[in-house]
Amino acid sequence: MKTMKISNLSTGKILVSEPFISGLDFQRSVVLLVDYGEDGAFGVVLNKPVSYSLHHIMFGTEFKDIYPYKGGPVEKNLLFFIHALGDQIEGSASIDGQLYWGGNYHQVRELLKNNVLHENNIWFFMGYAGWSAKQLEREVDEGVWVVAETPLLELMQVDRKQMWRDAVSALGNPNKGTSKNSKIRGVSQYKYRSLP
């Protein structure tokens, strides 16, 4: 995530949690806003892998090397996905013209079996994150989240386990230790290497 900048709330933007947010669901999280509007918002946490593969979720499948992510605290028992194949998967909804949400589940299974889909062009999530009307705006105003934008296809290629740390670095330049231009509350008082 070399090219990340501060932005305003809208579909396709990224939320980066402040370092000391309470609660395990969003601690050190990077969230992709899949949909945003006056009625609320929903997205998926991009950097929290689960410890089991798709094989354990999609019984009878051979997808032992594909691991979903904890998408958020809502509907944690349901499987969701984003992908980069666009209208090649029927029923997909565009997030930004590069990444798409959902689509035909049976078609996805076939594309996985044929190795058309792989970890660089599809991302699975257990659950999602949701906000009611004005809730996310309040959280942003309170400093819980920094809203950013980055080329979304770039997200498919980065080290997902390091995503939050890389986002904090890109947004706040915390490598300088006491940088006054840090956009992430709490980061400016710590050296980047000291963040666990």
Q: Is residue 94 part of a domain?
A: yes
Distance CA 151, CA 130 (A): 23
Q: Is residue 41 part of a domain?
A: yes
Q: Is residue 194 part of a domain?
A: no
Please provide the DSSP assignment of 44-73 as one string.
Answer: EESS-B-SS-HHHHSTT---TT---EE--S
Instruction: Give how many domains the chain has, as a whole number.
Output: 1
Query: pTM of this prediction?
Result: 0.84
Q: Domain span at residue 93?
A: 5-159
Q: Is residue 135 part of a domain?
A: yes
**Token pair for 138:** 């309040």
Q: Is residue 26 part of a domain?
A: yes
pLDDT in tens, 69-92: 999 999 999 999 999 999 899 999
pLDDT in tens, 9-66: 999 999 999 888 877 789 999 999 999 999 999 999 999 999 888 877 775 566 777 8
Q: Is residue 185 part of a domain?
A: no
Question: Looking at residue 1, what is its pLDDT?
Answer: 55
Coil/strand/helix, residue 145: strand
Q: Is residue 117 part of a domain?
A: yes
- Output the domain CATH number for residue 50: 3.40.1740.10
